[in-house]
Structure 1
Amino acid sequence: MRINLTLTRRTAVLGVATLVAVGGAVAIGLSGNSAAPTANAGTTGTAILAPALAADTGPLASDAFPGITVRGAGKVTGTPDTLILTLSVNKTAGDVTSAMNGLVTTMTAIQNSLKANHVADADQKTSGLGVGPEYDYSGNKRTVTGYQATENLTVTLHDTKAAGATISAAAAAGGDATQISGLSTDLENNSGPLNQARDAAFNDAKAKATQYAKSAGRTLGPVVRVEETVSTQPNGAVSADSAKSAASGGSIAPVPIQMGSTDVTVQVTVVFSFS
Structure 2
Amino acid sequence: MIRALILATALTVPAATAIAQDEPGRLSLSATGEVQVVPDMATVQSGVVTEARTAAEALNANSRRMNGVFEALAEAGIERQDIQTSNLQINPVWSNYSAGEQRRITGYQATNTVTARVTELDELGATVDALVASGANQIQGINFSLEDDDAARREARLRAVAELRETAALYAGALEIELGGLLEFSESGGGRPQPPVMFARAESFAADTPVAAGQLTVSVTITGVFAIGD
Short-chain TM bin = 0.7 to 0.9
- Counterpart residue type for residue 198 of structure 1: R
Other-structure match for 1:269: 223
Matched-pair contact (CA < 8 Å) for 2:129–2:209? yes
Structure (1 or 2) with the larger CA radius of gyration: 1
Q: How many residues align?
A: 216
Other-structure match for 1:24: 13
Other-structure match for 1:147: 108
Matched-pair contact (CA < 8 Å) for 1:210–1:220? no
Identity among equivalent positions (%) equals 25
Q: 1:95 to 1:194 in 2, by over 3 A?
A: same
- Counterpart residue type for residue 24 of structure 1: V
- Counterpart residue type for residue 239 of structure 1: V
Structure with the bigger RCO (C-alpha within 8 Å, sep 6+) is: 2
Deviation at 1:166, TM superposition (A): 1.2
Deviation at 1:217, TM superposition (A): 4.7
Point out where structure 1 has 5 or more consecutive residues left out of the alignment. 1-21, 26-42, 52-63
Q: 1:182 to 1:194 in 2, by over 3 A?
A: same
Deviation at 1:226, TM superposition (A): 2.9
Q: 1:50 to 1:85 in 2, by over 3 A?
A: closer
- Superposition TM-score, scaled by structure 1 size: 0.67
Matched-pair contact (CA < 8 Å) for 1:213–1:219? yes
Q: 1:190 to 1:44 in 2, by over 3 A?
A: farther
Task: Write the distance in 1 (CA, Å) between the matches of 2:92 and 2:33.
Answer: 53
Matched-pair contact (CA < 8 Å) for 1:107–1:174? yes
Task: Write the distance in 2 (CA, Å) between the matches of 1:49 and 1:148.
Answer: 60
Other-structure match for 2:80: 121
Alignment of 1:1-275 (within 5 A): 23-24=12-13, 43=15, 45-48=17-20, 65=25, 68-137=27-96, 140-174=101-135, 178-214=137-173, 215-218=175-178, 223=182, 225-235=184-194, 237-240=195-198, 243-248=199-204, 253-272=207-226
Task: Write the distance in 2 (CA, Å) between the matches of 1:98 and 1:189.
Answer: 43
Q: Deviations over 1:19-42 (max 9, x none)?
A: xxx6225xxxxxxxxxxxxxxxxx
Matched-pair contact (CA < 8 Å) for 2:20–2:27? no
Where 1:118 maps in the other structure, the secondary structure is: coil
Point out where structure 2 has 5 or more consecutive residues left out of the alignment. 1-10
Q: CA RMSD in A?
A: 3.0
Deviation at 1:272, TM superposition (A): 4.6
Deviation at 1:268, TM superposition (A): 0.7
- Superposition TM-score, scaled by structure 2 size: 0.78
